Amino acid sequence: MSVNEALDPKASAQTPEDWQPKILVFACNWCTYAGADLTGLSRLQYPATVRILRVPCSGRVNPQFVIKAFQKGVDAVLVCGCHPGDCHYTTGNYYTRRRFLLMRRLMEYIGLEPERLQARWISAAEAPKFQQVITEVTEQIRALGPNRKLRDVQWQQWNS
Amino acid sequence: MKRVGVFVCHCGTNIAGTVDCAKVAEAAKDFPNVEYSVDYKYMCSEPGQEMIKQAIQEHKLDRIVVASCSPRMHEPTFRNCVEKAGLNPYYVEMANIREHCSWVHPNEKERATEKAIDLVKMAVAKAVKNQPLQKTTIPVTDRALVIGGGIAGIQAALDLANAGHVVDIVEREPSIGGKMAQLDKTFPTLDCSACILTPKMVDAAGHPNINLLTYSEVEKVDGFVGNFDVTIRQRARSVKMDVCTGCGICMEKCPVKVDSEFELGLAKRRAIYTPFPQAIPNKPVIDREHCTYFIKGKCGICSKVCPAGAIDYTQQDELITRRYGAIIVATGFTLFDHSVYGEYGYGKYPDVITGLQFERLINASGPTMGKLKRPSDHKEPKNIVIITCVGSRDETKGKSYCSRTCCMYSAKHASLIRDKIKDSKVYIFYMDMRTPGKGYEEFYDRSREVYGTQYIRGRVSKIYPQNDKLIVRGEDTLLSQPVEVEADLVILATAMVAQPDADKLAQKIGIGYDKDNFYTEAHPKLAPVETHTQGVYLAGACQGPKDIPDSVAQASAAAAKACALLSKPEILTEPIVSEVDEKTCAGCGTCVLICPYKAIDLKTLTERIAGKTVERKVATVNEGLCQGCGACTVACRSGSIYLKHYTDEQILAEVNALCL
């Protein structure tokens, strides 16, 4: 697929009905990762669209990782951490919150749908919330379609 | 070239029932650097671990990926396993294909398998970048600090001291004892509070391993587990402790009378005072705010009458800095201020008192010598109304939580009243009776059946005075009809709330607190006395409302945890900490500001560049303080500080692998 094809509205129209997005989740070790574990333990089901990457704290997520993920063709990035005030490291998620707002603006500026980057606070006890968030975000991104704007050659290889 | 071994676990059918494990193992063979890949029924079992060890030897593997359950479950298991096989434990990576895959996608087998392959691919990419990490040791100072000298603090200190550790108790008040010293009797056994507490106070004061620092407060906490440097402000008592004999003449002669804090305003004390007769240490302090000598510069009666010459008006606050291995926080609680409730008279009616004031009124050593008299006219009350949940379970004006003790102590109050005044009648307005505890329900039953307490389920809408009575109006929700009681005395079971400055102390120590300023434990079930700050433990009601048995149990638990820490000369530290690349660090100090643990400092490097000696600042990380959150790595503008085991390179490798 060439660049022009990718930008062609018709090309996105070709997205098959059963297309499932690929969503990268950065989950902090103390709250959301544990919450995702609890979701499994409680056998709550959610779409198999997410890949969870464990980080010690949501504050460890460098905006560079997010850009890189989009560049590599991930359809959405979800950054999850402890609720504000509950950070295991006291203040990490406050930095996440500020960076997230900045990143959303940057994404708007470069013409990438800001909904592709989301941040949520999910505690270790909130398995139903984790399930609900993943289901919701998957639906949102399915409606948006594949991320075709920011991607490099590898994206094509992956899709071919 | 790294040689990665991939081990895919079936977890019986937990994983294999959904994920095609053989297919995952097969797919892993094609990932870069993968040398060996296999699937097996139970990877964590003895034969499974043996399999990993053998494969390491046979295939000369140097990185291991285990695709199984959550790393929160078995990461330590597999780290141990590879360490036994001679590899660095941090060469292990885990792909969570159970909690995050098979268990949540049981109906999408194909896509689950695909996801499992992705997760393994990410883990392999990270494992390749894993560096060997060594746990380091830091020395432990064998001395513990207990903050708060109530029953929890005393119990924790005694347990630690009996185990052979030196303990300092810091208590803000002039005497240890805390709230329990104010109580009359304790439920459900009705043994006298002083009879069971004061011997413990004496034990603590006389113990060779315990130092009491009363009239003192924690000023500053620096350092980290095993090595906390704590500055304690010992306020000036104006009485020389080593000279004073505790004879008490000064307290008799002092002309100034102020409301006694210990008696909750029901009696007066002097400006030079001990809070209560059994105080420990039983030596007075001068309350400089009220002392005539300190206000006007003259008086000095206490100094004149003191036979030992112990009064010293020139004493200054003293700052003591000591190093402690562990800290136990046992700062307790205070009572909810019920003056926000208009329906109970905004705290203005003298005969509407709190439960704790009642404890003083009925206490043999209290202001009335144990004879129950109401505060306004000292008459014996006949009709007494007790209202529970004052401030508890009320989100609009009070606290959302249940204070846990009020149902029980109200039942106790009702019983005690009937014991003293046989022809009295006690009414308890309640929302729900909550009596979980050994012998508690039976105690509550007894208060109804033996003592004839009348329980009315419902809230009180108004209390107002009429002649010398208080009219209590409420609703009996079980009968759906209004009730009115002519009461002589109303007792409010006010909520237990956190100390007013609990948040400030938490910030000094670096522990978390919840929306109500109670300190948060590391895990509500599995680590109820630990905090997220290693080496700091919680005991008693500072963590949440608690009765005496629970406080004592938690204090002993905290002491046991502190013992485990103090009994070793040194401890191992987690090697996942930040490290600075001094070559590229510009010394801007951004990381110093961002670090929540004050683990980063700037140091000066002296270098010879082009024949000149140059000094420049670079960041340096204290490995003992660093908890490995990684906030600094993201903030660093030149990418010169990185978190080991979670470097940018490692995380980006995972991101790349996901998309390749």
- pLDDT tens-place string over residues B3-39: 999 999 999 999 999 999 999 999 999 999 999 999 9
| Residue that finishes a domain, picked among B464, B497, B530 | B497
Query: Domain of B40?
Result: 4-129
Average pLDDT across chain B, whole number: 94
Inter-axis angle of helices B406-420 and B355-362, to 10 degrees? 30
For residue A62, the chain B residues in CB contact (below 8 A) are 633-634, 648, 651
Per-residue model confidence (pLDDT) at position B510: 80
pLDDT digits (tens, 9 = 90+) for B474-483: 999 999 999 9
CA B150 to chain centre: 14
Q: Is residue B163 part of a domain?
A: yes
Nearest-CA distance from A141 to chain B in Å? 17
Q: Is the pLDDT of residue A8 over 80?
A: no
Which of B115, B634, B660 to substitute to test the interface with A, most A CBs within 10 Å?
B634
The verdict on B83 and B171 lying in the same domain is: no
Burial group, residue B196, by CB count within 10 angstroms (0-12, 13-18, 19+): middle
* B652 to A68: CB separation less than 8 angstroms, yes or no: yes
The verdict on B629 and B535 lying in the same domain is: no
For residue A88, the chain B residues in CB contact (below 8 A) are 532, 629
Encoded amino acid at B603, one letter = K
Q: Is residue B97 part of a domain?
A: yes
Average pLDDT over residues B425-453: 95
Q: Is residue B92 part of a domain?
A: yes
DSSP label at residue A8: S
Cα–Cα distance between B116 and B8 in angstroms, integer? 10
Of B106, B108, B119, which has the smallest distance from its Cβ to A51's Cβ? B119
For residue A56, the chain B residues in CB contact (below 8 A) are 576, 628-630, 643, 646
Nearest-CA distance from B382 to chain A in Å? 49
Which of A51, A71, A100, A123 to substitute to test the interface with B, most B CBs within 10 Å?
A51
Q: Is residue B186 part of a domain?
A: yes
For residue B633, the chain A residues in CB contact (below 8 A) are 60, 62
ipTM: 0.89
Cβ-based neighbour number of residue A124 at 10 Å: 23
Nearest-CA distance from B516 to chain A in Å? 12
pLDDT digits (tens, 9 = 90+) for B517-566: 999 888 778 789 998 788 999 999 999 999 999 999 999 999 999 999 99
Average pLDDT over residues B441-448: 96
Partner residues linked to B221 by β-bridges: B230
For residue A150, the chain B residues in CB contact (below 8 A) are none
What's the maximum distance between 2 C-alpha atoms anywhere in chain A?
A: 48
Q: Is residue B629 part of a domain?
A: yes
pLDDT digits (tens, 9 = 90+) for B150-198: 999 999 999 999 999 999 999 999 999 999 999 999 999 999 999 999 9
pLDDT digits (tens, 9 = 90+) for B581-640: 999 999 999 999 999 888 999 999 999 988 999 999 999 999 888 889 999 999 999 999
Q: Is residue B16 part of a domain?
A: yes
* A89 to B629: CB separation less than 8 angstroms, yes or no: yes
pTM of the model: 0.76
> Taking a C-beta distance cutoff of 8 angstroms, is the pair B239, B312 a contact?
yes
The verdict on B402 and B455 lying in the same domain is: yes
Of A37, A43, A60, which has the smallest distance from its Cβ to B630's Cβ? A60
The residue among B544, B535, B542, B516 whose CA lies nearest residue B152 is B542
* A41 to B100: CB separation less than 8 angstroms, yes or no: no
The verdict on B224 and B187 lying in the same domain is: yes
The verdict on B483 and B345 lying in the same domain is: yes
Q: Is the pLDDT of residue B513 over 60?
A: yes
The verdict on B447 and B522 lying in the same domain is: no
Per-residue model confidence (pLDDT) at position B109: 94
Per-residue model confidence (pLDDT) at position B425: 96
For residue B594, the chain A residues in CB contact (below 8 A) are 95
Can you tell me which residue has the tokens 């109820």?
Answer: B528
Which residue does chain A place closest to B657, by CA atoms?
A: A72
Number of domains chain B is built from: 5
Nearest-CA distance from B112 to chain A in Å? 6
Provide the CATH number for the domain around residue B123.
Answer: 3.40.50
- pLDDT-derived band at B230 (thresholds 50, 70, 90) equals very high
* A88 to B631: CB separation less than 8 angstroms, yes or no: no
Which residue does chain B place closest to A69, by CA atoms?
A: B655
Nearest-CA distance from A87 to chain B in Å? 9
Which residue does chain B place closest to A125, by CA atoms?
A: B524
The verdict on B109 and B13 lying in the same domain is: yes
The verdict on B348 and B423 lying in the same domain is: yes
Can you tell me which residue has the tokens 């020395």?
Answer: B139
CA B229 to chain centre: 19
pLDDT digits (tens, 9 = 90+) for A11-54: 445 677 888 999 999 999 988 998 999 999 999 999 999 999 99
pLDDT digits (tens, 9 = 90+) for B317-344: 999 999 999 999 999 999 999 999 999 9
Of A90, A99, A131, which has the smallest distance from its Cβ to B596's Cβ? A90
Is the bond preceding B524 in cis, omega lying within 30 degrees of 0? no
Provide CB contacts within 8 A for B393, sequence distance 6+. B399, B400, B401, B402, B431
What's the maximum distance between 2 C-alpha atoms anywhere in chain B?
A: 99
Per-residue model confidence (pLDDT) at position B16: 95
Number of CB pairs, chain A paired with chain B, less than 8 A apart = 142
* B633 to A60: CB separation less than 8 angstroms, yes or no: yes
Partner residues linked to B4 by β-bridges: B34, B63
Which residue does chain B place closest to A51, by CA atoms?
A: B119
pLDDT digits (tens, 9 = 90+) for B291-314: 999 999 889 999 999 999 999 999
* B651 to A91: CB separation less than 8 angstroms, yes or no: no
The separation between the first and the last C-alpha atoms of chain B, rounded to the nearest angstrom, is 20
> Taking a C-beta distance cutoff of 8 angstroms, is the pair B493, B460 a contact?
no
The verdict on B73 and B153 lying in the same domain is: no
pLDDT digits (tens, 9 = 90+) for A72-94: 889 999 999 998 877 888 889 99
Cβ-based neighbour number of residue B545 at 10 Å: 21
| Residue that finishes a domain, picked among B482, B497, B512 | B497
Give φ, ψ of B237 to 5 degrees.
-80, -20
* B658 to A69: CB separation less than 8 angstroms, yes or no: yes
Per-residue model confidence (pLDDT) at position B660: 63
Cα–Cα distance between B224 and B230 in angstroms, integer? 10
Average pLDDT over residues B44-65: 95
Provide the CATH number for the domain around residue B628.
Answer: 3.30.70.3270
Can you tell me which residue has the tokens 């002097």?
Answer: B270
* B111 to A20: CB separation less than 8 angstroms, yes or no: yes
Per-residue model confidence (pLDDT) at position A152: 59
Cα–Cα distance between B158 and B195 in angstroms, integer? 17
> Taking a C-beta distance cutoff of 8 angstroms, is the pair B384, B426 a contact?
yes
For residue A46, the chain B residues in CB contact (below 8 A) are 104-105
CATH 1.20.1630 assigned to A20-148: no
The verdict on B109 and B170 lying in the same domain is: no
Provide the CATH number for the domain around residue B209.
Answer: 3.50.50.60
Q: Is residue B473 part of a domain?
A: yes
Which residue does chain B place closest to A160, by CA atoms?
A: B660
Sign of CA dihedral B48, B49, B54, B55: positive
The verdict on B389 and B528 lying in the same domain is: no
The verdict on B340 and B427 lying in the same domain is: yes
